[in-house]
């Protein structure tokens, strides 16, 4: 019992005294998913349920839940949260949830991030139960945390929490994980206005829907101000997805920094991909030539910058769709190198 911080030497529950700890910036990211039916996923994406505005309602509920954590979890400290973000993605039969909580204080924000996921997920369940009362909130877990004495912690990518002893079950689990990794994608949006809530992003949702339609498990859209796009890219790459597509921040404005942040993260460039996207846009809109977007490989993740306009995203989709499967297969070590 002595290893549990919330239990004293006599086995009694206690609230940990953090008064001697230094205030540091602390960030925690948690995730979960609502498993449901393909019909419900389609309805939510179309915002066509009897209880409308599903994702916005769940997002607000998750943020409110994070702020109420100390009231819900009896031994949690009250924290002055500086930021809470709740984001959603889709698979064929699930709505994924990710929450990021941030504070500057003497103790971490893991519980706030986890509570945000749980409350957002329960709200989703409430919104969809008329269509699917069997929907299941599952996999609520901590992904990463930063700050404090222990610094950075990240959940092991292939952690087997309930690993079975037979070798066959292990092999199946690894094969399933590899398949999931091969069809994982993140959509990243560089927009100061969208991050501040002063404008509506119309590009990220288009990419999310397109990728989900191709069978990808999509995280995002992750929305970051232009000045913080390097942090956004690091966030997008955190779990080594197969694909990261960004929109915005590719122009010649002093605040446009997406290409520089991307180049700093790349191991190899794919100049032909970026040039094909530029050429397709320029054929219809000469100013598309001003886009400085790049493409390349960060480890085994394909990263592609698209302009932050609906037309630029449409051009990017048109270029990427016919080559995406072959490109990802090559990066993963497969594909036919004799194809021209």
With tokens 């609502």, the residue in question is 34
Chunked mean pLDDT (size 10), the chain, 340 residues = 58 65 81 93 77 85 94 85 89 90 85 96 94 94 78 63 41 41 84 85 90 86 90 88 94 93 94 92 85 93 94 92 90 62
Identify the pLDDT of residue 200: 84
Identify the pLDDT of residue 67: 93
Q: What angle do CA 122, 125, 130 make, to 5 degrees?
A: 150
Distances (CA, A) of 254 to 226, 306, 312: 10, 18, 20
In angstroms, the CA 262 to CA 9 distance is 51
In angstroms, the CA 306 to CA 321 distance is 14
Give the CA dihedral 184, 187, 188, 192, nearest 10 degrees: -160
Identify the pLDDT of residue 147: 74
126 is catalytic: yes
CA 136 to chain centre: 20
Catalytic residue among 126, 132, 181, 325: 126
Contacts of 32 (CB under 8 A, 6+ apart): 96, 97, 117, 118, 121, 137, 138, 139, 140, 141
DSSP reduced 3-state for 223: strand
CA 316 to chain centre: 21
């Amino acid at each position: 019992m002595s290893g549990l911080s919330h239990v004293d030497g006599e086995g009694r529950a206690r609230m940990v005294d953090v008064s001697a700890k230094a205030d540091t910036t602390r960030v925690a990211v948690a995730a979960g998913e609502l498993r449901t039916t393909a019909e419900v996923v389609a309805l939510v994406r179309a915002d066509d349920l009897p209880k409308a505005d599903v994702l916005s309602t769940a997002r607000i509920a998750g943020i409110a839940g994070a702020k109420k954590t100390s009231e819900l979890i009896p031994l949690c400290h009250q924290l002055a949260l500086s930021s809470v973000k709740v984001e959603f993605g889709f698979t064929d039969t699930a709505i994924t949830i990710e929450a990021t909580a941030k504070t500057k204080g003497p103790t971490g924000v893991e519980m706030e991030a986890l509570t945000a996921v749980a409350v957002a997920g329960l709200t989703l369940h409430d919104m969809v139960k008329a269509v699917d009362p069997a929907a299941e909130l599952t996999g609520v877990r901590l992904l990463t945390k930063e700050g404090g004495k222990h610094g950075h912690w990240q959940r092991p990518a292939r952690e087997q929490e309930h690993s079975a002893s037979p070798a066959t079950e292990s092999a199946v689990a690894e094969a399933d994980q590899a398949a999931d990794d091969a069809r994982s994608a993140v959509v990243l949006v560089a927009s100061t206005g969208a991050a501040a809530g002063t404008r509506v992003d119309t590009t990220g949702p288009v990419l999310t829907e397109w990728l989900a339609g191709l069978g990808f498990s999509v995280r995002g859209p992750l929305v970051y101000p232009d000045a913080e796009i390097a942090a956004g890219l690091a966030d997008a790459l955190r779990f080594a997805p197969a694909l990261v597509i960004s929109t915005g921040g590719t122009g010649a404005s002093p605040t446009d920094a997406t290409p520089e942040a991307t180049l700093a993260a790349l191991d190899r460039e794919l100049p032909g991909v970026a040039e094909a996207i530029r050429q397709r846009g320029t054929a219809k809109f000469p100013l598309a030539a001003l886009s400085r977007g790049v493409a390349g490989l960060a480890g085994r993740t394909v990263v592609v910058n698209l302009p932050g306009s609906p037309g630029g995203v449409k051009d990017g989709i048109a270029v990427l769709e016919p080559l995406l499967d072959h490109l990802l297969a090559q990066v993963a070590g497969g594909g036919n190198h004799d194809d021209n």
